[in-house]
Amino acid sequence: MSTFKQIDRRAFIRGVGGVALALPVLDAMGNGVTEEIPRRFCAIYTANGMSLPKSEHDINEWSWFPTAQNNSEFVFSKSTEPLSPFRKQLSFMGGLYHPSGPKSDPHQCSDMWLTGAPLHNSKPGTYNSVGLDQVVALHTKRFCRQPSLVLSIDAGTGFLSRTGTISYSLDGRPIPAENNPRRVFDRLFRVDPASLTSVRNKLQLRIKLVDAVGDSARALQQQLGKSDRERMDEYLTSLNEVESRLIASEQWIDIPLKQQDYSHLNLDVTTEGEPAEYYRNMFDLIALAFDADITRSVAFMLNREDGMGISDTFPLKLGLSHTHHTLSHAGDKEGQLQFAKYDLFLSQQLAHFLSQLAKYQDRNSSLLDNTIVMFGSGASTTHNPRNLPTLIAGGANMGLKHGTYWRNGESRMSNMYLSILQSMGIEQGSFADSTTTLSNSIFG
Amino acid sequence: MKMTYFASNAIHQLRNPSRTIVLIFCSIRLLQPIQAADGPSRDGKSLENAFGQVVKPFLMQNCVRCHDADKLTSGIRVDQLNAEVEDRHIRLWQDIRKQIVDKAMPPEEETQPTEAERQAVAEWIHQALETARSRPLPNNGVTRRLTVAQYRNTLRELLLLEDNMTDLLPPDAVSRDGFVNNQETLLFSPLLLEAYFEVAEESLRRCIVDSTSKPKIQNFRVELGDSINPQPFPDPLILGAGSLLLNNKDVLVKELTPNKPFDFEPFAMRTKHRFIEGYAGNDTVRGWREYDSIYHSVFACMRGTDGYPKGRAYSTVPQGLLLRPAIPSSELFQVESTYGPKANFKVSLRELPEGGLFRVRVMAAKYNDGLLLDRGDTAQSLEQPDAVLCHDLETPQTITIPRSGIYQVDVYPSGTKSTTPSKKPKEKPNDWTLSLGDREFTGALSQPAFLVLRLDAGELSLKARHPGSVSVDKVVLSSLGHDHELAKRFAVFEQRSPKLGVHLGLRRDCGSTLAPVGEPQTVSSDKLTRFVFEGAIRNFPSPDVEKDNINYLAGIREIGVRSEYTDGRDMPRLLIRSVEFEGPFYEQWPPPAHQNIFIESDQKKDSVAYAREILRAFASRAYRRPISVDEETQLMNVFEQSSAEGCNFQDSVTSALLVVLTSPQFLFLIENSESPEPERLNENELASKLSYFLWNGPPDQELMTLAANGNLSDQMQSEVGRMMDDPRFSRFVSEFASQWLALEKFSVLEPDSGRFPKLTRDTRAQLQQEPIQFLEYLIQNNLALTNLIESDFLLANEVIASFYDLADKTESGFEFVPITHNRRDLGGMLTQAAIMAGLSDGRESNPVKRGAWLARRIIAEPPDDPPPNVPTLSEETKGLSLRERIERHRNQPGCVQCHLKIDPWGVPFEEFDAGGRLKQQSVDARSTLPDKSNIAGVNDLKRYLSQDRIDQVAFSFLKHLATYATGRNLAYNELESLKGAGKSLKANGYRMQDMIRFVINSDLFLTK
């Protein structure tokens, strides 16, 4: 601790009976290695559902959900085959849904995917409710530079029922997404000094405020005579914790970024160009951000509902017959096959991301084992809010047991979200409309 | 329902024979039982001795083997018990005593203690409990955090800021008694503190302005009426699926410059736009397009018009836009085509201010309307002497009305005719439009009897129009005598007045997300009148799109204007002439919130002295007492340090204000105690205690002044009266009633809409108010407590009355008024729909929930908590009815004991269904209560409670009231004191205000 004079001064905060409060977070920063291995979360969303062809078309091998078994193991379909190298690190999750889904306008399924909010009957004055990624961010932000990274195919927020972001803040407001790889890179990896200064100023102001409030609180405590001090102690403890978090954030500004190899990035790609090239670079950025522990919570919306935005045209660019939204409505054999081929394209992108995570190493193992990746859609086939296609990958070090196609009748998405939170060590009694965790599942 | 809900008496569970317990008995040394004849010994020393000699060995030999810290059988341990009989162990001791006396423990197969041993221990426990209950607790003051609601009210009244920022705060936890203001559950956390910092910064940012700058004010008006716009926008406008835009010629948008006594800059709405994503019908289209018109920025728009039951949902007439009451939608996708009520008029627009207050002004009138007749109403005889007949309506006719009065209009269609169909959209093929003078009536014609209306004597132009191939044979106008049944119906109809509601929110493709701006206002005049609605923008849903949004439909805000719906009774239409918006709305500059902080002073030139004055005034109001010298010095230090670092005066003061708003002096209610002995509250503490009890908010200036002068204690009785008369008292009633009665269970209920179609979202919102309004009425009129149990009246508005099939009893709109009911299923609070339905799962009635609720909340005989290892019901119960499952569950060992204390209270309520109404079929609701009273049904239960057990009900009410008033758990001796002393209220019938005053005047409230 001797290298941090300022921290020394504050780490042993007066009051609370003079008990020294160590700051484990700061210990970690000095060594560049955290005591606790990072636990990360990444949500990846695709709109309009997946191809689950009608049985009469006899192309079950193109169903996104596995339909066959071999030696009691599920068989990857043709549209998920690129993910087969990760069999032991992923699971398909069947039967999941948001109970609010069937009650709501189906175009809102992306709005509620991470939140589970009752958008059919939202409270007056509210918009949405907090998303899973932001709950994770709330608990991991003190370990890293950025609470979360919110990405989408289209920048901004879109609008309710046609959202352009899947991330919603603690008070349920949409968090604008970024979609430009260069801007993301510049913000995360090439921080400009001016913005650093403004961040530092803001933090320092807040630290001063906390200091002054501490003085005020201690003055009060002395007046309090024989009064029950339990509540005041709670207050002062919270104040100390807030102060240490602020100081940690301030310290980040001076700590150099981890040295990384950026040579594989092509930051000139845009959404107007090759879809695969775009997605590859965005996924590479996420992997780099995880590797440098810049953030531990990422939400990435790959495409949007109902023909919104540029991504609707991607299937055409790939030589498929129709736009994404139109394909998703297909009921005929050829249409459902074409839609499945777009699933195949998405599987290839996801496989690339998983391979990047598998390549980077934490102290104990690959990043993939320390990251829960959730990939899925808010609709199974278009406008069908039950049995949401969901794939969970990674997180072996958080106790996830992979390699299965899990189903247990119908289960609430929120229950799985609660399981994810608990796997990450985030003690929370419930999430949205959860009733319990996902028992007898890959979460143990 | 979770099975853990089924409580079970933990100790009885030990009877379970599957638990084989082998006790090895040592030889028992016989002890002399304490002689009861000695009289109850309250001497702590002798109790302690006896514990060591008698009780402890007894527990060690007979109980500890299973009930120690490791085994914790049934969640019970006794090894840690001592002679102290701490409060937290009182229940446990009670249970132990019962087990010993009933010989329920040790289990039969174990060696049993002797009768004498049992007696000795039972007697010791009895005495020790007596001692414990009479023992005063050390009084060391109270420090409790403001609840979220209290914090919200406090911040608003301190800062004069309407913006509600508390959505950043996590919700408060609920205590065992159901209250959120309990000292023990009001925890503190870093997350909460960070939120307080955010709220404080954001709130001050919104209060404090740069007073040298000019504010920007947005002000515009949308005028409505047939052909009101002489130069309508030429292009067709589209606003996505389900949006019906009024004709361009019927809408006129004007940007205005308000009259203000200060300099400002009018805000001009953006009219040039460039979008790449747009709509053609319901299809998305892509391609950059440029737009340049205010009519691409502000739209006049309708939603939800299909299937209006009678007449047309809306129509445009030269005088304005006519609206029928907006029927709430079922809010279910595919059940109805759109969200939001029909007919819902909205001004849709792209830009509104980011913050501050706003005003919406609506020019509206009650339309001089006619009553469209129902199917089955009969035409008047054609032979009537003064009937006016009119044929040949191909062209408008002028007829002469012989005398003023109420007329029925009958329309007789003839065969077919070949006219071109009307171009008006959405017209039902069977709709007729009849124009009488400048009034217009459209509706389906299923019979000649069409309309009743009031007509003046004299000439009247008449026009009839039908879109299809039917023509009019004749129209007959017959005068109705005022005793005619239809004339009477019309007289009632024309007395009614539409309720104008304004809403603010955002557009979604599937409807709207709108929140009401204040209460609906009654439009009772047929002259255009201005109605003003005010709110704070921050408190309404906003679409939150990015600045460079590229979608034509993204980020659309909405100002909704409706005729509000109560229960569908016939209602004259609401005429809307114009809707005007102004925001941010300022009456002065700088605004009051700013001047409230930067007070007028003659020390303004001396920045340090002025800062001191500001900080002292602000902090004293925030801390609800004069600030100490130390506190003032510290705040001045913050100010001076900030100034020294180069911040300007305003920013430096703000830094110190932030400290005030995040300090515990502000966030906590503190009753400071010098010693463990009871002390009287000081004057400032008393002011806060009263105001947070009776107003759920901070003391006002009058209370603070009385406290400062030391006069509050003396004038407390009259102050309490004043506080109960104040509108803020409603906050207490709503907060207390909701938590005491667990009304949140009703608010989260998802009723089976197939079985209970009347329980719509809007009706439920009103029903949830019923217990609150009822309690408020009882208090305001200082009525007797028995009314809570049974009363010959209920408090209802039109929605509630209609729900209970009493629609004809009131014409009060949304206002709750007392109604005498003469019905066996109504009256009192227990069987109100919010209670009965709230204690169900929305499908089946649930006697266990209802019983547990009554035992806990109404008679304060709470069942024990379920033990930690409650057995869940085995699988084979699936498919059984709820009642069968409950019975099966209840019969399990380990469950039965508690259920004997719960279920008998709930069974009489079986007469009510899960939707809160009396069941149609007869139900066996007989029950034997725990005290062996036999009850024939719900009304017999009400009689029993209000006559035989009213003391217990009064105790429960006092207990809950006192727990809420003090914000802490009451000690046993305090509860005992309530039990005894409360009976002094009985002579006067336990009147509601008397009980509130009783709590306020008790030591548990007044001492610390």
Q: Rounded to 5 degrees, what are φ and ψ at B414? A: -110, -160
Distances from the Cα of A264 to the Cαs of A282, A286, A356, B551, B962, in angstroms?
12, 13, 12, 34, 69
Residue pairs between chains A and B whose CB atoms are closer than 8 Å: 190
Nearest CA in chain B to A106: B333
Same domain, B845 and B878: yes
Structure tokens at B562: 């409706």
Same domain, B774 and B855: yes
Residue B20's pLDDT is what?
Answer: 34
In a domain, B472, yes or no: yes
Tell me if A159 and B168 make a contact (CB, 8 A cut-off): no
CA dihedral sign, ordered B499, B502, B503, B506: positive
Residue B498, amino acid: P
Tell me if A162 and B551 make a contact (CB, 8 A cut-off): yes
| B915-B917-B923-B925 Cα dihedral, nearest 10 degrees | 100
Q: Is A238 touching B (CB cutoff 8 A)?
A: yes
In a domain, B625, yes or no: yes
pLDDT at position B915 over 80:
yes
In a domain, B959, yes or no: no
pLDDT bracket for residue B420 (50, 70, 90): very low
Q: Where are the alpha helices (DSSP H) in B817-862?
A: 833-838, 847-853
Taking the C-alpha atoms of residue B497 and residue B521, their distance in angstroms, rounded to an integer, is 10
Least trusted range by pLDDT, from A220-229, A245-254, B202-211, B505-514: A220-229
Residue B428's pLDDT is what?
Answer: 52
DSSP assignment of B32-53: PPPPGGG-----HHHHHHHIII
DSSP B327: B
Nearest CA in chain A to B641: A208
The domain segmentation of chain A, as residue ranges, is: 1-33+189-268, 36-180+270-423
Same domain, B179 and B242: no
Tell me if B339 and A105 make a contact (CB, 8 A cut-off): yes
Cβ within 8 Å of A, B 74-133: none
Burial code (b: 16+ CB inside 10 Å, e: under 16) for A389-407 equals: bbbbbbbbbbebebebbbe
Same domain, B841 and B780: yes
Residue B337's pLDDT is what?
Answer: 45
Tell me if A219 and B631 make a contact (CB, 8 A cut-off): yes
Cβ within 8 Å of B, A 178-217: 205-206, 208-210, 212-213, 215-217
Cβ within 8 Å of A, B 975-994: none
The neighbour count for residue B309, using CB atoms within 10 Å, is 10
Bridge-based pairing of strands B458-465 and B397-401 is antiparallel
Tell me if B145 and A231 make a contact (CB, 8 A cut-off): yes
Mean pLDDT, rounded, of chain B:
87
Nearest CA in chain A to B662: A213
CATH of A36-180+270-423, one of 3.30.230, 3.40.1350, 3.40.720, 3.40.50: 3.40.720
pLDDT at position B189 over 70:
yes
Residue A90's Cβ-count burial label (10 Å; 0-12, 13-18, 19+) is buried
Q: Please, how many CA atoms are within 13 Å of residue B319, restricted to the half-sphere of its CB?
A: 19
Same domain, B877 and B747: yes
Residue B593's pLDDT is what?
Answer: 96
Q: How many domains does chain B have?
A: 6
Structure tokens at B244: 């019906």
Residue B70, amino acid: D
Same domain, B513 and B642: no
Structure tokens at A404: 């299965």
In a domain, B712, yes or no: yes
Nearest CA in chain A to B507: A160
- Average pLDDT in the B788-809 region? 96
Strand, coil or helix: what is B431? strand
Tell me if A235 and B664 make a contact (CB, 8 A cut-off): yes
Same domain, B606 and B634: yes
Contacts of A232 in chain B (CB under 8 A): 143, 664, 668
Rounded to a whole number of angstroms, the distance from the CA of B630 to the nearest CA of chain A is: 7
Nearest CA in chain B to A231: B143
What does the pLDDT look like over B125-170, one tens digit per residue? Answer: 888 888 877 777 777 788 899 999 999 999 999 999 999 998 878 7
**Omega cis (within 30) before B425:** no
Contacts of B630 in chain A (CB under 8 A): 219
Looking at B86, B106, B134, which one is the last position of a domain?
A: B134
What does the pLDDT look like over B929-965, one tens digit per residue? Answer: 988 999 999 999 999 999 999 999 999 999 999 999 9
3-state secondary structure B479-546: ECCCCCHHHHHHHHHHHCCCEEEEEEEEEECCEEEEEECCCCEECCCCCCEEEEEEEEHHHCCCCCCC
Same domain, B105 and B19: yes
- Find the domain containing B408 and state its range: 381-479
Distances from the Cα of B345 to the Cαs of B282, B313, B575, B671, in angstroms?
20, 10, 12, 52
Structure tokens at A169: 């803040």
Nearest CA in chain A to B638: A212
Cβ within 8 Å of B, A 73-102: 102
Contacts of A213 in chain B (CB under 8 A): 659, 662-663
Same domain, B292 and B435: no
Cβ within 8 Å of A, B 515-574: 515-516, 539-546, 548-549, 551, 553-556
* Paired residues of B405 in beta bridges: B455
What does the pLDDT look like over A182-216, one tens digit per residue? Answer: 989 988 998 777 888 888 888 888 999 999 999 99
Same domain, B777 and B907: yes
| B94-B96-B101-B105 Cα dihedral, nearest 10 degrees | 160
What does the pLDDT look like over B624-658, one tens digit per residue? Answer: 999 999 999 999 999 999 999 999 999 999 999 99
Residue B339's pLDDT is what?
Answer: 56
Nearest CA in chain A to B537: A125
Residue B177's pLDDT is what?
Answer: 85
Nearest CA in chain A to B146: A231
Taking the C-alpha atoms of residue A253 and residue A354, their distance in angstroms, rounded to an integer, is 30
- Average pLDDT in the B850-867 region? 83
**Omega cis (within 30) before B467:** no
Which of A160, A205, A219 has the CB atom closest to B508's CB atom?
A: A160
- Average pLDDT in the B37-45 region? 52
Least trusted range by pLDDT, from B142-151, B159-168, B476-485, B975-984: B975-984
B476 close to B379: Cβ distance less than 8 angstroms: yes
Strand, coil or helix: what is B956? helix
Rounded to a whole number of angstroms, the distance from the CA of A441 to the nearest CA of chain B is: 20
Taking the C-alpha atoms of residue B844 and residue B837, their distance in angstroms, rounded to an integer, is 9
Residue A337's Cβ-count burial label (10 Å; 0-12, 13-18, 19+) is buried
Closest CA to A252 of A37, A38, A29: A29
Distances from the Cα of B177 to the Cαs of A404, B24, B149, B181, B970, in angstroms?
46, 42, 18, 10, 11
Residue A106's pLDDT is what?
Answer: 78
In a domain, B993, yes or no: no
Q: Residue B442 belongs to what H/E stretch?
A: strand B439-444
Contacts of B548 in chain A (CB under 8 A): 156
Looking at B725, B756, B789, which one is the last position of a domain?
A: B725
Burial code (b: 16+ CB inside 10 Å, e: under 16) for B9-23 equals: bbbbbbeeeeeeeeb
Closest CA to B745 of B849, B630, B660, B673: B849
Which of B541, B546, B676 has the CB atom closest to A155's CB atom?
A: B546
Same domain, B557 and B606: no
Burial code (b: 16+ CB inside 10 Å, e: under 16) for B393-424 equals: beeeeebebeeeebbbbbbbbeeeeeeeeeee
Same domain, B782 and B914: yes
pLDDT bracket for residue B41 (50, 70, 90): very low
pLDDT at position B96 over 90:
no
Structure tokens at B83: 């002679």
Please indicate whether residue A177 or residue B31 has the higher confidence score (pLDDT). A177
Closest CA to B903 of B875, B878, B918, B882: B882
pLDDT at position B682 over 90:
yes
Contacts of B339 in chain A (CB under 8 A): 105, 120
Structure tokens at B700: 């006002």
Mean pLDDT by runs of 10 across the 444 residues of chain A is 34 33 38 69 96 93 94 94 97 95 83 91 74 94 89 83 87 86 89 82 90 90 73 87 84 86 92 93 97 96 87 90 90 94 97 97 94 96 88 97 94 96 93 92 90
Which of A103, A208, A219 has the CB atom closest to B332's CB atom?
A: A103
Looking at B413, B447, B479, which one is the last position of a domain?
A: B479
Which of B284, B546, B673 has the CB atom closest to A157's CB atom?
A: B546
Q: What CATH number is attached to the domain comprising B262?
A: 2.60.120.260
Q: What CATH number is attached to the domain comprising B446?
A: 2.60.120
Least trusted range by pLDDT, from B163-172, B490-499, B870-879: B870-879
Cβ within 8 Å of B, A 320-349: 325
Closest CA to B776 of B744, B732, B820: B732
